[in-house]
Structure 1
Protein backbone atom coordinates (compact mmCIF):
# COMPACT_ATOMS: atom_id res chain seq x y z
CA UNK A 1 0.00 0.00 0.00
CA UNK A 2 1.08 3.56 -0.66
CA UNK A 3 1.53 6.10 2.11
CA UNK A 4 -0.56 9.26 2.49
CA UNK A 5 2.31 11.31 1.09
CA UNK A 6 2.81 9.03 -1.90
CA UNK A 7 -0.92 8.99 -2.63
CA UNK A 8 -1.18 12.76 -2.46
CA UNK A 9 1.80 13.21 -4.78
CA UNK A 10 0.34 10.84 -7.37
CA UNK A 11 -3.14 12.32 -7.04
CA UNK A 12 -1.91 15.90 -7.45
CA UNK A 13 -0.07 14.95 -10.63
CA UNK A 14 -3.16 13.21 -12.00
CA UNK A 15 -5.33 16.24 -11.24
CA UNK A 16 -2.80 18.61 -12.80
CA UNK A 17 -2.92 16.51 -15.95
CA UNK A 18 -6.73 16.62 -15.92
CA UNK A 19 -6.76 20.42 -15.73
CA UNK A 20 -7.88 20.92 -12.13
CA UNK A 21 -7.42 24.51 -10.96
CA UNK A 22 -6.69 23.44 -7.37
CA UNK A 23 -5.07 19.99 -7.52
CA UNK A 24 -3.33 20.12 -4.12
CA UNK A 25 -6.46 21.26 -2.30
CA UNK A 26 -8.67 18.78 -4.15
CA UNK A 27 -6.38 15.86 -3.31
CA UNK A 28 -6.11 16.87 0.35
CA UNK A 29 -9.88 17.30 0.76
CA UNK A 30 -10.57 13.90 -0.78
CA UNK A 31 -7.88 12.23 1.37
CA UNK A 32 -9.36 13.79 4.52
CA UNK A 33 -12.78 12.58 3.45
CA UNK A 34 -11.53 9.01 3.03
CA UNK A 35 -9.67 9.00 6.35
CA UNK A 36 -12.29 11.05 8.22
CA UNK A 37 -9.44 13.17 9.58
CA UNK A 38 -8.58 16.92 9.61
CA UNK A 39 -5.99 18.43 7.27
CA UNK A 40 -3.44 18.50 10.11
CA UNK A 41 -3.46 14.67 10.13
CA UNK A 42 -1.99 14.59 6.63
CA UNK A 43 0.98 16.65 7.78
CA UNK A 44 1.45 14.74 11.03
CA UNK A 45 1.29 11.21 9.57
CA UNK A 46 2.50 11.45 5.94
CA UNK A 47 4.18 8.03 6.12
CA UNK A 48 1.01 6.19 7.24
CA UNK A 49 -0.10 3.67 4.64
CA UNK A 50 -3.70 3.44 3.50
CA UNK A 51 -5.63 0.23 4.01
CA UNK A 52 -6.80 -1.62 0.90
CA UNK A 53 -10.37 -0.37 1.16
CA UNK A 54 -9.19 3.22 1.74
CA UNK A 55 -6.82 2.98 -1.22
CA UNK A 56 -9.59 1.77 -3.53
CA UNK A 57 -11.98 4.53 -2.41
CA UNK A 58 -9.34 7.24 -2.75
CA UNK A 59 -8.39 6.09 -6.25
CA UNK A 60 -12.07 6.11 -7.23
CA UNK A 61 -12.64 9.62 -5.88
CA UNK A 62 -9.55 10.99 -7.61
CA UNK A 63 -10.81 9.46 -10.87
CA UNK A 64 -14.15 11.22 -10.38
CA UNK A 65 -12.43 14.55 -9.77
CA UNK A 66 -10.15 14.02 -12.76
CA UNK A 67 -13.26 13.59 -14.90
CA UNK A 68 -14.40 17.04 -13.76
CA UNK A 69 -16.93 16.15 -11.06
CA UNK A 70 -16.94 18.90 -8.39
CA UNK A 71 -15.32 18.02 -5.06
CA UNK A 72 -18.40 19.25 -3.19
CA UNK A 73 -20.60 16.71 -4.96
CA UNK A 74 -18.04 13.95 -4.41
CA UNK A 75 -17.84 14.47 -0.65
CA UNK A 76 -21.43 15.72 -0.31
CA UNK A 77 -20.52 18.86 1.63
CA UNK A 78 -19.38 22.46 1.17
CA UNK A 79 -18.68 25.14 3.77
CA UNK A 80 -20.47 28.48 3.41
CA UNK A 81 -20.36 31.31 5.94
CA UNK A 82 -18.49 28.87 8.23
CA UNK A 83 -21.48 26.50 8.06
CA UNK A 84 -20.89 22.91 6.85
CA UNK A 85 -23.70 22.30 4.36
CA UNK A 86 -24.82 19.07 2.77
CA UNK A 87 -24.93 19.44 -1.02
CA UNK A 88 -26.38 17.31 -3.80
CA UNK A 89 -26.64 17.35 -7.57
CA UNK A 90 -30.17 18.79 -7.24
CA UNK A 91 -28.73 22.14 -6.15
CA UNK A 92 -25.97 24.58 -7.01
CA UNK A 93 -22.74 24.33 -5.05
CA UNK A 94 -22.54 27.34 -2.68
CA UNK A 95 -19.76 29.67 -3.81
CA UNK A 96 -17.60 32.10 -1.87
CA UNK A 97 -18.70 35.08 -3.97
CA UNK A 98 -22.28 34.57 -2.78
CA UNK A 99 -21.08 35.42 0.72
CA UNK A 100 -20.88 38.99 -0.62
CA UNK A 101 -24.66 38.91 -1.01
CA UNK A 102 -24.95 37.81 2.63
CA UNK A 103 -22.69 40.66 3.78
CA UNK A 104 -24.75 43.25 1.93
CA UNK A 105 -28.02 41.80 3.22
CA UNK A 106 -26.74 41.94 6.81
CA UNK A 107 -25.90 45.62 6.32
CA UNK A 108 -29.42 46.44 5.09
CA UNK A 109 -31.42 44.16 7.40
CA UNK A 110 -29.71 45.63 10.44
CA UNK A 111 -31.44 48.96 9.72
CA UNK A 112 -35.00 47.62 9.58
CA UNK A 113 -37.17 45.30 11.66
CA UNK A 114 -38.81 42.42 9.84
CA UNK A 115 -38.32 38.96 8.41
CA UNK A 116 -36.18 37.76 5.48
CA UNK A 117 -37.13 35.89 2.30
CA UNK A 118 -34.63 33.87 0.23
CA UNK A 119 -35.82 32.86 -3.25
CA UNK A 120 -34.28 29.86 -5.01
CA UNK A 121 -32.71 28.78 -1.75
CA UNK A 122 -31.01 25.57 -2.99
CA UNK A 123 -28.97 24.17 -0.11
CA UNK A 124 -30.35 26.94 2.11
CA UNK A 125 -26.90 28.55 2.25
CA UNK A 126 -28.00 32.21 2.12
CA UNK A 127 -31.04 31.70 4.34
CA UNK A 128 -29.10 29.77 6.97
CA UNK A 129 -26.25 32.28 7.00
CA UNK A 130 -28.72 35.12 7.59
CA UNK A 131 -30.63 33.08 10.19
CA UNK A 132 -27.43 32.67 12.21
CA UNK A 133 -26.76 36.42 12.03
CA UNK A 134 -30.33 37.36 12.98
CA UNK A 135 -31.49 34.62 15.39
CA UNK A 136 -34.58 36.61 16.42
CA UNK A 137 -35.79 37.00 12.83
CA UNK A 138 -37.80 34.50 10.83
CA UNK A 139 -36.07 33.50 7.59
CA UNK A 140 -38.08 31.81 4.83
CA UNK A 141 -36.40 29.97 1.96
CA UNK A 142 -38.27 28.87 -1.16
CA UNK A 143 -37.19 26.52 -3.93
CA UNK A 144 -39.02 25.07 -6.93
CA UNK A 145 -37.39 21.66 -6.49
CA UNK A 146 -38.75 19.51 -3.67
CA UNK A 147 -35.31 17.85 -3.38
CA UNK A 148 -33.74 21.25 -2.67
CA UNK A 149 -36.42 22.17 -0.12
CA UNK A 150 -35.81 18.89 1.70
CA UNK A 151 -32.03 19.36 1.55
CA UNK A 152 -32.22 22.89 2.98
CA UNK A 153 -34.48 21.61 5.76
CA UNK A 154 -31.97 18.86 6.61
CA UNK A 155 -29.17 21.43 6.74
CA UNK A 156 -31.17 23.57 9.15
CA UNK A 157 -31.87 20.56 11.36
CA UNK A 158 -28.25 19.39 11.38
CA UNK A 159 -27.06 22.88 12.29
CA UNK A 160 -29.85 23.28 14.88
CA UNK A 161 -31.00 26.52 13.25
CA UNK A 162 -34.63 26.90 14.29
CA UNK A 163 -35.53 30.30 12.82
CA UNK A 164 -35.14 29.24 9.15
CA UNK A 165 -38.02 27.47 7.39
CA UNK A 166 -38.14 26.14 3.84
CA UNK A 167 -41.07 25.87 1.43
CA UNK A 168 -41.45 24.28 -2.00
CA UNK A 169 -42.88 26.25 -4.90
CA UNK A 170 -42.24 28.74 -7.67
CA UNK A 171 -40.78 32.00 -6.39
CA UNK A 172 -43.41 33.81 -4.24
CA UNK A 173 -46.24 31.30 -4.75
CA UNK A 174 -45.91 29.40 -1.40
CA UNK A 175 -46.27 32.50 0.78
CA UNK A 176 -49.39 34.46 1.65
CA UNK A 177 -50.15 37.53 -0.44
CA UNK A 178 -50.15 39.65 2.72
CA UNK A 179 -46.65 38.56 3.82
CA UNK A 180 -44.16 41.38 4.29
CA UNK A 181 -40.37 41.21 4.57
CA UNK A 182 -37.60 43.60 5.49
CA UNK A 183 -35.40 41.98 2.86
CA UNK A 184 -35.79 39.72 -0.17
CA UNK A 185 -32.58 38.06 -1.36
CA UNK A 186 -31.98 35.74 -4.29
CA UNK A 187 -29.27 34.01 -6.27
CA UNK A 188 -31.53 33.01 -9.19
CA UNK A 189 -30.67 31.44 -12.55
CA UNK A 190 -28.99 34.17 -14.61
CA UNK A 191 -26.91 32.46 -17.30
CA UNK A 192 -27.87 32.72 -20.96
CA UNK A 193 -28.62 29.25 -22.38
CA UNK A 194 -26.09 29.94 -25.16
CA UNK A 195 -23.27 30.82 -22.75
CA UNK A 196 -20.12 28.79 -23.51
CA UNK A 197 -19.27 28.58 -19.79
CA UNK A 198 -22.06 25.99 -19.35
CA UNK A 199 -19.76 23.45 -20.98
CA UNK A 200 -16.81 24.24 -18.73
CA UNK A 201 -15.69 23.42 -15.17
CA UNK A 202 -17.97 22.48 -12.30
CA UNK A 203 -21.13 23.94 -13.87
CA UNK A 204 -21.22 20.97 -16.28
CA UNK A 205 -22.41 18.87 -13.33
CA UNK A 206 -24.84 21.38 -11.81
CA UNK A 207 -28.60 21.44 -12.58
CA UNK A 208 -29.43 23.62 -15.60
CA UNK A 209 -32.69 24.69 -13.97
CA UNK A 210 -30.64 26.51 -11.31
CA UNK A 211 -28.31 28.11 -13.85
CA UNK A 212 -30.15 29.11 -17.02
CA UNK A 213 -32.81 31.77 -17.58
CA UNK A 214 -34.54 33.15 -20.67
CA UNK A 215 -34.06 36.69 -22.03
CA UNK A 216 -30.27 36.27 -22.09
CA UNK A 217 -30.32 35.28 -18.41
CA UNK A 218 -32.49 38.17 -17.20
CA UNK A 219 -35.98 36.62 -17.09
CA UNK A 220 -35.95 35.42 -13.47
CA UNK A 221 -34.17 38.55 -12.23
CA UNK A 222 -36.91 40.62 -13.87
CA UNK A 223 -39.71 38.47 -12.42
CA UNK A 224 -38.31 38.74 -8.90
CA UNK A 225 -37.85 42.50 -9.17
CA UNK A 226 -41.40 42.98 -10.43
CA UNK A 227 -43.09 40.89 -7.75
CA UNK A 228 -40.86 41.56 -4.73
CA UNK A 229 -42.39 45.04 -4.48
CA UNK A 230 -45.60 43.49 -3.14
CA UNK A 231 -43.77 41.65 -0.35
CA UNK A 232 -41.38 44.31 0.90
CA UNK A 233 -42.00 46.52 3.89
CA UNK A 234 -41.71 50.26 3.35
CA UNK A 235 -37.97 50.84 3.16
CA UNK A 236 -37.28 47.14 2.58
CA UNK A 237 -34.50 45.93 0.31
CA UNK A 238 -34.22 43.60 -2.65
CA UNK A 239 -30.76 42.10 -3.28
CA UNK A 240 -30.04 39.85 -6.27
CA UNK A 241 -26.89 38.09 -7.39
CA UNK A 242 -26.24 38.14 -11.14
CA UNK A 243 -23.59 37.69 -13.82
CA UNK A 244 -20.55 39.95 -13.96
CA UNK A 245 -21.78 41.61 -17.19
CA UNK A 246 -25.39 42.11 -16.05
CA UNK A 247 -24.99 44.97 -13.57
CA UNK A 248 -26.36 47.73 -15.80
CA UNK A 249 -29.22 45.58 -17.10
CA UNK A 250 -30.33 44.69 -13.57
CA UNK A 251 -30.04 48.31 -12.42
CA UNK A 252 -32.26 49.30 -15.36
CA UNK A 253 -34.82 46.64 -14.35
CA UNK A 254 -34.96 47.90 -10.76
CA UNK A 255 -35.30 51.47 -11.95
CA UNK A 256 -38.12 50.44 -14.30
CA UNK A 257 -40.06 48.98 -11.37
CA UNK A 258 -39.59 52.00 -9.14
CA UNK A 259 -36.86 50.95 -6.71
CA UNK A 260 -34.66 53.63 -5.16
CA UNK A 261 -31.06 53.85 -3.95
CA UNK A 262 -30.10 51.33 -6.64
CA UNK A 263 -26.47 50.20 -6.61
CA UNK A 264 -24.37 47.35 -7.95
CA UNK A 265 -21.71 45.89 -5.67
CA UNK A 266 -18.65 43.86 -6.65
CA UNK A 267 -17.65 40.39 -5.49
CA UNK A 268 -14.26 39.41 -4.05
CA UNK A 269 -12.84 39.19 -7.57
CA UNK A 270 -13.87 42.82 -8.24
CA UNK A 271 -16.63 41.82 -10.66
CA UNK A 272 -20.17 43.22 -10.61
CA UNK A 273 -22.12 40.60 -8.68
CA UNK A 274 -25.02 41.97 -6.56
CA UNK A 275 -27.53 44.67 -7.41
CA UNK A 276 -29.79 46.04 -4.71
CA UNK A 277 -32.61 48.53 -4.42
CA UNK A 278 -34.89 49.96 -1.73
CA UNK A 279 -38.67 49.86 -2.03
CA UNK A 280 -40.48 52.85 -0.59
Structure 2
Protein backbone atom coordinates (compact mmCIF):
# COMPACT_ATOMS: atom_id res chain seq x y z
CA UNK A 1 0.00 0.00 0.00
CA UNK A 2 1.25 3.46 -0.90
CA UNK A 3 2.46 5.44 2.15
CA UNK A 4 -0.06 7.98 3.46
CA UNK A 5 1.34 10.85 5.51
CA UNK A 6 -0.09 13.38 7.94
CA UNK A 7 0.21 16.08 5.29
CA UNK A 8 -1.65 13.96 2.73
CA UNK A 9 -4.41 13.20 5.22
CA UNK A 10 -4.92 16.89 5.96
CA UNK A 11 -4.94 17.69 2.23
CA UNK A 12 -7.64 15.05 1.67
CA UNK A 13 -9.74 16.61 4.44
CA UNK A 14 -9.41 20.04 2.86
CA UNK A 15 -10.61 18.53 -0.41
CA UNK A 16 -13.77 17.44 1.44
CA UNK A 17 -14.30 21.05 2.51
CA UNK A 18 -13.07 20.83 6.12
CA UNK A 19 -11.26 23.84 7.52
CA UNK A 20 -7.67 23.44 8.61
CA UNK A 21 -8.28 23.50 12.36
CA UNK A 22 -11.06 20.90 12.23
CA UNK A 23 -8.92 18.62 10.08
CA UNK A 24 -5.99 18.90 12.47
CA UNK A 25 -8.13 18.17 15.53
CA UNK A 26 -9.73 15.16 13.86
CA UNK A 27 -6.34 13.78 12.83
CA UNK A 28 -5.01 14.19 16.36
CA UNK A 29 -8.11 12.39 17.64
CA UNK A 30 -7.54 9.54 15.17
CA UNK A 31 -3.95 9.29 16.38
CA UNK A 32 -4.97 9.28 20.03
CA UNK A 33 -3.11 12.51 20.70
CA UNK A 34 -4.43 15.54 22.65
CA UNK A 35 -5.88 18.57 20.88
CA UNK A 36 -2.95 20.63 22.17
CA UNK A 37 -0.56 18.70 19.89
CA UNK A 38 -1.19 20.72 16.73
CA UNK A 39 2.50 21.70 16.62
CA UNK A 40 3.35 17.99 16.64
CA UNK A 41 1.48 17.60 13.35
CA UNK A 42 3.59 20.32 11.75
CA UNK A 43 6.79 18.65 12.92
CA UNK A 44 5.64 15.21 11.69
CA UNK A 45 3.84 16.09 8.47
CA UNK A 46 5.80 13.47 6.50
CA UNK A 47 5.21 10.66 9.03
CA UNK A 48 3.39 7.67 7.61
CA UNK A 49 0.05 6.87 9.22
CA UNK A 50 -0.97 3.41 10.39
CA UNK A 51 -3.93 1.87 8.59
CA UNK A 52 -6.23 2.05 11.61
CA UNK A 53 -5.49 5.78 11.99
CA UNK A 54 -6.19 6.35 8.28
CA UNK A 55 -9.53 4.56 8.50
CA UNK A 56 -10.55 6.41 11.67
CA UNK A 57 -9.57 9.79 10.21
CA UNK A 58 -11.43 9.13 6.96
CA UNK A 59 -14.57 8.22 8.91
CA UNK A 60 -14.29 11.30 11.14
CA UNK A 61 -13.73 13.55 8.11
CA UNK A 62 -16.84 12.26 6.35
CA UNK A 63 -18.93 12.83 9.48
CA UNK A 64 -17.63 16.39 9.80
CA UNK A 65 -18.19 17.07 6.10
CA UNK A 66 -21.81 15.95 6.58
CA UNK A 67 -22.26 18.67 9.20
CA UNK A 68 -21.86 16.72 12.44
CA UNK A 69 -20.39 19.00 15.12
CA UNK A 70 -16.69 18.48 15.80
CA UNK A 71 -17.45 18.16 19.52
CA UNK A 72 -19.67 15.13 18.94
CA UNK A 73 -16.98 13.40 16.87
CA UNK A 74 -14.14 13.94 19.34
CA UNK A 75 -16.50 13.58 22.32
CA UNK A 76 -15.70 16.76 24.22
CA UNK A 77 -15.90 20.54 24.17
CA UNK A 78 -14.05 23.12 26.24
CA UNK A 79 -16.25 25.62 28.07
CA UNK A 80 -15.08 28.22 30.59
CA UNK A 81 -11.80 26.34 30.99
CA UNK A 82 -13.50 22.97 31.59
CA UNK A 83 -13.39 19.97 29.27
CA UNK A 84 -16.96 18.68 28.99
CA UNK A 85 -17.99 15.38 27.47
CA UNK A 86 -20.76 15.90 24.92
CA UNK A 87 -22.74 13.81 22.48
CA UNK A 88 -25.99 14.01 20.51
CA UNK A 89 -28.06 13.94 23.73
CA UNK A 90 -27.06 17.53 24.52
CA UNK A 91 -26.41 20.83 22.79
CA UNK A 92 -22.77 21.68 22.13
CA UNK A 93 -21.79 24.49 24.58
CA UNK A 94 -21.10 27.77 22.77
CA UNK A 95 -18.57 30.46 23.72
CA UNK A 96 -21.42 33.01 23.76
CA UNK A 97 -22.82 31.30 26.86
CA UNK A 98 -19.69 32.22 28.82
CA UNK A 99 -21.23 35.72 29.00
CA UNK A 100 -24.06 34.22 31.07
CA UNK A 101 -21.58 32.50 33.40
CA UNK A 102 -19.58 35.69 33.90
CA UNK A 103 -22.72 37.68 34.73
CA UNK A 104 -23.83 34.94 37.14
CA UNK A 105 -20.50 35.10 38.96
CA UNK A 106 -20.84 38.89 39.24
CA UNK A 107 -24.29 38.50 40.82
CA UNK A 108 -22.90 35.93 43.26
CA UNK A 109 -20.38 38.51 44.52
CA UNK A 110 -23.15 40.82 45.77
CA UNK A 111 -22.68 41.41 49.52
CA UNK A 112 -26.39 41.07 50.34
CA UNK A 113 -26.43 37.38 49.37
CA UNK A 114 -26.38 34.69 52.10
CA UNK A 115 -23.06 32.94 52.85
CA UNK A 116 -24.14 29.91 50.81
CA UNK A 117 -26.45 31.17 48.05
CA UNK A 118 -28.77 28.85 46.12
CA UNK A 119 -28.06 28.82 42.39
CA UNK A 120 -29.92 27.11 39.57
CA UNK A 121 -28.86 26.30 36.02
CA UNK A 122 -32.22 25.84 34.27
CA UNK A 123 -32.04 23.65 31.16
CA UNK A 124 -28.55 22.45 32.00
CA UNK A 125 -27.88 20.14 29.03
CA UNK A 126 -24.27 19.00 29.40
CA UNK A 127 -24.08 20.81 32.74
CA UNK A 128 -21.93 23.58 31.28
CA UNK A 129 -23.31 26.56 33.21
CA UNK A 130 -23.77 24.79 36.54
CA UNK A 131 -20.34 23.20 36.43
CA UNK A 132 -18.61 26.40 35.34
CA UNK A 133 -20.20 28.29 38.24
CA UNK A 134 -19.46 25.54 40.76
CA UNK A 135 -15.84 25.23 39.61
CA UNK A 136 -15.25 29.00 39.62
CA UNK A 137 -16.68 29.37 43.13
CA UNK A 138 -14.65 26.43 44.43
CA UNK A 139 -11.47 27.90 42.91
CA UNK A 140 -12.22 31.17 44.72
CA UNK A 141 -12.76 29.37 48.03
CA UNK A 142 -16.47 30.19 48.07
CA UNK A 143 -19.55 28.03 48.52
CA UNK A 144 -22.95 27.79 46.87
CA UNK A 145 -25.66 25.20 46.60
CA UNK A 146 -25.86 24.64 42.84
CA UNK A 147 -28.78 22.80 41.25
CA UNK A 148 -28.90 21.76 37.58
CA UNK A 149 -32.36 21.22 36.08
CA UNK A 150 -33.36 19.67 32.77
CA UNK A 151 -36.49 18.08 31.29
CA UNK A 152 -34.37 15.43 29.56
CA UNK A 153 -33.23 12.44 31.60
CA UNK A 154 -30.65 11.72 28.89
CA UNK A 155 -29.18 15.22 29.16
CA UNK A 156 -29.03 14.87 32.94
CA UNK A 157 -27.08 11.64 32.51
CA UNK A 158 -24.45 13.52 30.50
CA UNK A 159 -24.35 16.36 33.04
CA UNK A 160 -24.00 13.99 36.00
CA UNK A 161 -21.08 12.23 34.35
CA UNK A 162 -19.35 15.54 33.65
CA UNK A 163 -19.87 16.53 37.28
CA UNK A 164 -18.47 13.22 38.53
CA UNK A 165 -15.44 13.42 36.27
CA UNK A 166 -14.68 17.00 37.33
CA UNK A 167 -15.12 16.24 41.02
CA UNK A 168 -17.68 18.99 41.61
CA UNK A 169 -20.75 19.15 43.87
CA UNK A 170 -23.99 19.86 42.00
CA UNK A 171 -27.51 18.57 42.57
CA UNK A 172 -29.54 17.41 39.58
CA UNK A 173 -33.29 17.54 39.06
CA UNK A 174 -35.59 16.48 36.24
CA UNK A 175 -38.23 19.13 35.57
CA UNK A 176 -39.88 20.85 32.60
CA UNK A 177 -38.53 24.31 33.33
CA UNK A 178 -39.67 25.20 36.87
CA UNK A 179 -42.82 23.08 37.03
CA UNK A 180 -41.40 20.46 39.42
CA UNK A 181 -39.02 22.78 41.30
CA UNK A 182 -39.62 23.61 44.96
CA UNK A 183 -37.85 26.13 47.14
CA UNK A 184 -36.45 29.54 46.30
CA UNK A 185 -33.13 30.51 44.75
CA UNK A 186 -30.90 33.56 44.83
CA UNK A 187 -29.98 33.14 41.17
CA UNK A 188 -31.55 31.33 38.23
CA UNK A 189 -29.42 31.29 35.07
CA UNK A 190 -30.77 29.75 31.88
CA UNK A 191 -29.76 29.24 28.28
CA UNK A 192 -33.12 28.05 26.92
CA UNK A 193 -34.11 27.35 23.30
CA UNK A 194 -34.59 30.67 21.49
CA UNK A 195 -34.55 29.99 17.74
CA UNK A 196 -37.81 30.51 15.84
CA UNK A 197 -39.23 27.19 14.65
CA UNK A 198 -39.22 28.32 11.01
CA UNK A 199 -35.71 29.79 11.09
CA UNK A 200 -33.67 28.55 8.14
CA UNK A 201 -30.56 28.27 10.32
CA UNK A 202 -32.05 25.22 12.05
CA UNK A 203 -31.23 23.10 8.99
CA UNK A 204 -27.51 23.52 9.69
CA UNK A 205 -28.03 22.38 13.30
CA UNK A 206 -29.78 19.12 12.43
CA UNK A 207 -27.34 16.95 14.39
CA UNK A 208 -28.18 18.69 17.68
CA UNK A 209 -31.37 18.09 19.72
CA UNK A 210 -34.16 20.24 18.26
CA UNK A 211 -35.86 20.62 21.65
CA UNK A 212 -32.76 22.45 22.89
CA UNK A 213 -32.84 24.91 20.00
CA UNK A 214 -36.32 25.89 18.77
CA UNK A 215 -39.03 27.64 20.80
CA UNK A 216 -42.13 28.52 18.81
CA UNK A 217 -42.92 31.01 16.07
CA UNK A 218 -40.81 33.86 17.47
CA UNK A 219 -38.31 31.77 19.48
CA UNK A 220 -39.52 33.18 22.79
CA UNK A 221 -42.05 30.55 23.96
CA UNK A 222 -39.72 28.99 26.54
CA UNK A 223 -38.36 32.34 27.70
CA UNK A 224 -41.92 33.56 28.33
CA UNK A 225 -42.67 30.45 30.37
CA UNK A 226 -39.50 30.79 32.44
CA UNK A 227 -40.17 34.48 33.17
CA UNK A 228 -43.74 33.68 34.24
CA UNK A 229 -42.66 30.82 36.51
CA UNK A 230 -39.49 32.34 37.98
CA UNK A 231 -40.98 34.66 40.65
CA UNK A 232 -42.34 31.65 42.58
CA UNK A 233 -38.82 30.18 42.69
CA UNK A 234 -36.78 33.30 43.50
CA UNK A 235 -35.87 34.73 46.87
CA UNK A 236 -36.69 38.37 47.43
CA UNK A 237 -33.82 40.13 45.63
CA UNK A 238 -32.99 37.06 43.54
CA UNK A 239 -31.88 37.36 39.94
CA UNK A 240 -33.08 35.73 36.73
CA UNK A 241 -30.50 35.78 33.90
CA UNK A 242 -31.37 34.53 30.41
CA UNK A 243 -29.39 33.94 27.24
CA UNK A 244 -31.26 34.77 24.04
CA UNK A 245 -30.85 35.42 20.32
CA UNK A 246 -28.88 38.27 18.80
CA UNK A 247 -32.04 40.31 18.03
CA UNK A 248 -34.21 39.43 21.05
CA UNK A 249 -32.79 41.58 23.86
CA UNK A 250 -35.36 44.37 23.67
CA UNK A 251 -38.28 41.92 23.65
CA UNK A 252 -36.85 39.89 26.54
CA UNK A 253 -36.30 43.05 28.60
CA UNK A 254 -39.93 43.95 27.90
CA UNK A 255 -41.13 40.56 29.12
CA UNK A 256 -39.07 40.88 32.30
CA UNK A 257 -40.31 44.40 33.01
CA UNK A 258 -43.97 43.46 32.46
CA UNK A 259 -43.58 40.53 34.87
CA UNK A 260 -42.40 42.98 37.53
CA UNK A 261 -38.62 42.46 37.52
CA UNK A 262 -36.45 45.42 38.53
CA UNK A 263 -32.99 46.49 37.33
CA UNK A 264 -33.75 44.94 33.94
CA UNK A 265 -30.65 45.05 31.74
CA UNK A 266 -28.67 43.22 29.06
CA UNK A 267 -25.05 42.14 28.65
CA UNK A 268 -22.89 42.02 25.53
CA UNK A 269 -21.00 38.98 24.30
CA UNK A 270 -17.47 39.14 22.89
CA UNK A 271 -18.86 40.18 19.49
CA UNK A 272 -20.61 43.17 21.06
CA UNK A 273 -24.09 41.63 20.69
CA UNK A 274 -26.70 41.84 23.45
CA UNK A 275 -26.59 38.13 24.32
CA UNK A 276 -28.12 37.96 27.83
CA UNK A 277 -30.86 39.85 29.63
CA UNK A 278 -32.00 39.66 33.22
CA UNK A 279 -33.53 41.35 36.19
CA UNK A 280 -33.97 41.24 39.95
CA UNK A 281 -37.14 40.03 41.65
CA UNK A 282 -38.15 42.51 44.36
CA UNK A 283 -41.89 42.04 45.04
When normalised by structure 2's length, the TM-score is: 0.91
Q: Work out whether residues 15 and 65 of structure 1, in 8 Å CA contact, stay in contact via their aligned partners in 2.
A: no
Tell me how far apart the structure 1 counterparts of residues 46 and 173 of structure 2 sit (CA, whole Å).
Answer: 49
Partner residue, 1:156: 163
Does 2:43 match 1:44? yes
Name stretches of at least 5 consecutive residues in structure 1 with no aligned partner.
17-22
Paired residues for 1:85-100 under 5 Å: 85-100=84-99
* 1:104-137 Cα shifts (integer Å, max 9, x gaps): 1111111123111011100000010001112311
Q: Name which of 194, 198, 202 aligns with 1:194.
A: 198
Partner residue, 1:167: 173
Q: Work out whether residues 225 and 253 of structure 1, in 8 Å CA contact, stay in contact via their aligned partners in 2.
A: yes
* 1:2-26 Cα shifts (integer Å, max 9, x gaps): 111221122123225xxxxxx0110
1:215 CA displacement: 4.7
Paired residues for 1:72-83 under 5 Å: 72-83=71-82
Tell me how far apart the structure 1 counterparts of residues 239 and 162 of structure 2 sit (CA, whole Å).
Answer: 26
User: Helix, strand or coil for the counterpart of 1:240?
Assistant: strand
1:73 CA displacement: 1.1
User: Helix, strand or coil for the counterpart of 1:278?
Assistant: strand
* 1:65-88 Cα shifts (integer Å, max 9, x gaps): 111111111111111011111111
1:270 CA displacement: 1.6
Partner residue, 2:122: 119
Tell me how far apart the structure 1 counterparts of residues 161 and 94 of structure 2 sit (CA, whole Å).
Answer: 19
Tell me how far apart the structure 1 counterparts of residues 157 and 174 of structure 2 sit (CA, whole Å).
Answer: 9
User: Helix, strand or coil for the counterpart of 1:25?
Assistant: helix
Partner residue, 2:57: 58
Runs of 4+ in 1 over 3 A off after TM superposition: none
1:40 CA displacement: 3.1
Tell me how far apart the structure 2 counterparts of residues 263 and 81 of structure 1 sit (CA, whole Å).
Answer: 23
Q: Name which of 133, 136, 145 aligns with 1:138.
A: 145
Tell me how far apart the structure 2 counterparts of residues 24 and 259 of structure 1 sit (CA, whole Å).
Answer: 46
1:262 CA displacement: 0.6
* 1:162-204 Cα shifts (integer Å, max 9, x gaps): x21222221123432xx1211100000111111111112xx12
Name stretches of at least 5 consecutive residues in structure 2 with no aligned partner.
none
Q: Work out whether residues 175 and 181 of structure 2, in 8 Å CA contact, stay in contact via their aligned partners in 1.
A: no
Tell me how far apart the structure 1 counterparts of residues 5 and 170 of structure 2 sit (CA, whole Å).
Answer: 44
Tell me how far apart the structure 2 counterparts of residues 53 and 82 of structure 1 sit (CA, whole Å).
Answer: 32
Partner residue, 1:19: none
Partner residue, 2:22: 26
